[in-house]
């Protein structure tokens, strides 16, 4: 992974970074939409519109940490992303399940005084034309350098669930020496018993 990452990072056409301030607010929805629609839409069966991604980022705004929204660029164009959020359950435990005015004040106070030290990985993607070239490794290594600084408050990351139909991402986690934290089982009942049972197709 390190060897592949260094090869990509040695190419000045590539850049890996988080978005700061105004760029996060104005550009992140567009960057996310462009990469998602190339990397994920064909698997999920639906493309996202700019209106949808703008609304998504707007809803996340109260809990966003700009350091957790990471993008990869090739010649200035977005080709990968790594989207994370703070583990806000570490804050919600202080509000006693009540998000009234007092609860909101408690949430804001503890967000400032007792910030989360755990982050949640929501989605990771690389556009097809750059998959298998080391871009995912380069982005991970660049992120590791940034998150390894003493000023970075998050000590652990819980990745989003990864289906057994996504062997590429499973291999990435294995290379990172990640630990399996939870195992989810999905059960399906066919109301029409004449229909064949089909597993989710393996991502190519």
On whether the CB atoms of residues 31 and 71 are closer than 8 A, the answer is yes
- Segment 119-147, tens digit of pLDDT: 998 988 899 999 888 999 999 999 988 88
- Segment 77-95, tens digit of pLDDT: 999 999 999 998 888 888 8
- CATH of 2-175 among 3.40.630.30, 3.20.20.70, 3.40.50.300, 3.40.50.1370: 3.40.630.30
Q: What is the H or E stretch that residue 126 is in? A: strand 118-126
- Return the residue matching tokens 């399906």: 188
- Segment 36-84, tens digit of pLDDT: 999 887 777 789 999 999 999 999 888 889 999 999 999 999 999 999 9
């Amino acid at each position: 992974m390190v060897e592949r990452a260094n090869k990509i990072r040695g190419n000045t056409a590539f850049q890996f970074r988080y978005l700061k301030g105004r760029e996060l607010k104005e550009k992140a929805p567009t960057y996310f939409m462009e990469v998602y629609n190339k990397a994920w839409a064909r698997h999920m069966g639906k493309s996202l519109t700019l209106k949808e991604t703008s609304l998504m980022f707007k809803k996340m705004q109260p809990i966003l940490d700009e350091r957790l929204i990471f993008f990869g660029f090739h010649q200035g164009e977005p080709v990968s992303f790594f989207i994370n959020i703070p583990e806000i359950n570490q804050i919600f435990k202080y509000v006693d399940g009540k998000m009234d005015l007092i609860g909101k004040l408690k949430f804001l106070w503890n967000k400032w005084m007792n910030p989360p030290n755990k982050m949640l990985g929501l989605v990771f993607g690389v556009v097809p034309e750059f998959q298998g070239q080391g871009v995912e490794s380069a982005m991970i290594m660049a992120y590791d350098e940034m998150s390894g600084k003493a000023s970075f408050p998050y000590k652990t990351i819980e990745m989003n669930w990864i289906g057994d139909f996504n062997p590429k991402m499973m291999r990435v986690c294995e290379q990172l020496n990640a630990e399996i934290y939870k195992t989810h089982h999905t059960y399906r009942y066919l109301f029409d018993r004449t229909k064949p049972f089909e597993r989710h197709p393996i991502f190519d």
